[in-house]
């Protein structure tokens, strides 16, 4: 855990957040600045600064992310409508918190443009 990391502090319940799901590998909470009607952050409990820092030891936790995303998307009625997962890696990709996290976005028609 990194005491300076806001996501580590949320994971450890030192900062309040609207947590919608938690298990041994991830915590999922609502984004405080949502870009779509449904905008969740799926955050591995292990402090991994970015995709550039991923190693084989993270395989189980990161492989678990799409399973959790699919479950939550279905529970929120997005399953058949469509939803998107996004991971920003680094400053030029607009990663604002350096604890790897996956954005689950849905609830409206999205642009076909990715950049």
**Spatial contact of 72 and 8, defined as CB atoms under 8 Å apart:** no
**Quick check: is 101 catalytic?**
yes
Question: Rounded CA gap, 90 and 87, in Å?
Answer: 10
Select which of 25, 99, 101, 103 is catalytic: 101
Q: What are phi and psi of 72, to 5 degrees?
A: -70, -40
Name the one residue in this structure whose structure tokens are 């600064």: 49
What are the CA-CA distances from residue 14 to residues 6, 7, 91, 94 (Å)?
A: 9, 10, 26, 25
Q: Which residues are catalytic?
A: 101
């Amino acid at each position: 855990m990194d005491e300076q990391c806001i996501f580590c502090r949320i994971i450890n319940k030192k900062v309040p957040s609207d947590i919608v799901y938690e298990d041994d590998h991830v915590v999922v909470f609502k984004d405080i600045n949502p870009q779509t009607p449904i905008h969740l952050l799926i955050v591995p409990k292990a402090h991994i600064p970015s995709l550039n820092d991923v190693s084989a030891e993270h395989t189980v936790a990161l492989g678990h992310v799409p399973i959790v995303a699919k479950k939550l998307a279905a529970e929120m009625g997005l399953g058949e409508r469509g939803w998107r997962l996004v991971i920003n890696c680094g400053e030029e990709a607009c990663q604002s918190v350096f604890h790897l996290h996956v954005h689950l976005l849905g609830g409206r028609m999205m642009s076909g443009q990715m950049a």
